[in-house]
Amino acid sequence: MYKTILVPIDMAHVVEGKANVDLAASHCAQGSKVILLNVVEDIPNWAAIDLPAGQFEKSVELTTTELKAIAKASGMHMDVDVRVGHSYDTILKVAKERNVDLIIIASHRPGFQDYFLGSTAAKVVRHANCSVLVVR
């Protein structure tokens, strides 16, 4: 069993994220901590100028609310963390900061661009300093 489990959730794939939360619950030991993480992709300044005022902050707030609802529905106490940055870098950074034992991450069928750039899950697997469970 694991002491600290990180579950990154892509809000575009919430169903898979909820399934990973259930999976995390099954891998918890007594007193374990589960952290739900969403990474809001940083928007370049040239693009952010065209957004309505406060739109980015509203997005972060809405995401936090949705993650808290997922945590509450699980019946377990979970930490919720919403960060701004690039997905795989931020996932690895949070895993290191919070001394995570296991990352449970969803994977999707790779698209054309993933063959050249690599998916977030693949990058996390290659660079994580802890166990990673990839769920497809």
Q: What is the pLDDT along the chain (136 residues), one digit of tens a residue?
A: 899 999 999 998 888 888 999 999 888 888 899 999 999 887 776 766 777 777 778 888 999 999 999 999 988 889 999 998 999 999 999 999 999 999 999 987 665 555 544 588 889 999 999 999 999 8
User: What contacts 93, CB < 8 A, 6 or more positions away?
Assistant: 85
Q: What is the pLDDT of residue 1?
A: 81
- d(C-alpha 28, C-alpha 4), whole Å: 8
Residue 109 pLDDT:
66
Burial label for 53, CB within 10 Å (0-12, 13-18, 19+), is exposed
Write down the pLDDT at residue 48: 66
Q: What is the pLDDT of residue 16?
A: 86
Q: What integer pLDDT is reported at residue 111 of this predicted model? A: 59
Name all domains of the chain by residue range, CATH numbers in brackets. 15-135 (3.40.50.620)
Element (H, E) at 8: strand 2-8
pLDDT at 52: 74
Question: pTM to 2 decimals?
Answer: 0.88
The residue type at 92: L
pLDDT score, position 71: 94
pLDDT recorded at residue 82: 96
Return all residues near 37 (Cβ < 8 A) that are at least 6 apart: 6, 7, 8, 9, 81, 82, 83, 90, 91, 94
At residue 3, the 3 state secondary structure works out as: strand
Query: What are the phi and psi torsion angles at 27 (to 5°)?
Result: -100, 5
Q: What is the pLDDT of residue 28?
A: 85
In the prediction, which pLDDT does 116 show? 45
